[in-house]
Structure 1
Amino acid sequence: MPFIDHTSIAFDYPQQNAAGLTCTAQAWAKTPPPLHGSEKTFVIERIKQLLLEKDAALIAHYYVDGDIQDLALETGGFVSDSLEMARFGKNHSAKNLIVAGVRFMGETAKILSPEKRVFMPDLEATCSLDLGCNAADFAAFRAMHPDRTVVVYANTSAAVKAQADW
């Protein structure tokens, strides 16, 4: 697949007003052309070698590319939903975690494993559920309802989680 310049994509629906790229534009903007044959084999083997050398575990969300999921499983990593990814990372012996998913997933992994280094291939990768609850709006809500106990969903940013009661 050729590189697509996300700034040239036209939308026929209202776009979310959020920092970073969203939905379709983001999904396609950073998708590199697929690798094939010996080039693909070389890259996969090199990643496996680096994961070992760097004492890193690859944890991937169900939504990421199948090749990334396969690589995670082949190297002792994990494929799951966001919370189970973070739990796996906490219990894994690796000192470094590579989180293939959206930003809040990496943040959650870091919250559960503060002693580990957490790396994200794309810090601009976002989730519509997370974008639906921005930290400033949440703070304003909390200020309007100080007597309420607030529980947040796992699919929220660390900035929102830090303001929640549960």
Structure 2
Amino acid sequence: MNTRDSIKQALKKNNAVLVAHYYVSADIQTLAEETGGIVSDSLEMARFGQNCDAETIVVAGVKFMGETAKILSPEKNVLVLDDQATCSLDLSCPIDDFSAFCDANPDH
């Protein structure tokens, strides 16, 4: 059995769905689509995971995408293919600065 078939079998066996971001490789995007997952932006990935019947969401994207999926689906297992994958936009927003902004702008 090749790697692709092994992954498909593992997803099915573990009642898992693969959600992939537009920026991941075409092979992973194809695998997501072939196995009933989705290729989309980060919010739609999380919403898809929330609304599907799978017990586990496998996220092919950056770390915050997995965090978003977990926020929307706290009862589901969420796995991120690379927990070291980061986003330059995410990293450019320090938590202290963001917290101060939220405190100063409660309507946003």
Same fold (TM over 0.5): yes
Which 5+ residue runs of structure 2 have no aligned equivalent?
none
1:148 and 2:108 matched = no
1:62 and 2:22 matched = yes
* Residues 28-43 of structure 1 aligned to structure 2 (within 5 Å): 42-43=2-3
1:45-103 Cα deviation digits (max 9, x unpaired): 00000000010000000000000000000000000000000000000100000000001
* Residues 9-158 of structure 1 aligned to structure 2 (within 5 Å): 42-139=2-99, 141-142=100-101, 146-149=103-106, 151=108
User: What secondary structure sits across from 2:30 in the alignment?
Assistant: helix
Counterpart residue identity of residue 52, structure 1 = K
How many residues align? The count is 108
Instruction: Tell me, in whole angstroms, the C-alpha distance in 2 between the residues paired with 1:99 and 1:146.
Output: 31
TM-score normalised by L of structure 1: 0.62
Which 5+ residue runs of structure 1 have no aligned equivalent?
1-40, 152-166
Instruction: Tell me, in whole angstroms, the C-alpha distance in 1 between the residues paired with 2:62 and 2:105.
Output: 29
Instruction: Tell me, in whole angstroms, the C-alpha distance in 1 between the residues paired with 2:35 and 2:66.
Output: 19
User: What secondary structure sits across from 1:67 in the alignment?
Assistant: helix
Q: 1:45 to 1:137 in 2, by over 3 A?
A: same
Q: 1:132 to 1:52 in 2, by over 3 A?
A: same
Which one has a larger percent helix, Structure 1 or Structure 2? Answer: 2
Q: CA deviation at 1:149?
A: 2.0
User: What secondary structure sits across from 1:50 in the alignment?
Assistant: helix
| Identity of matched residues, % | 57
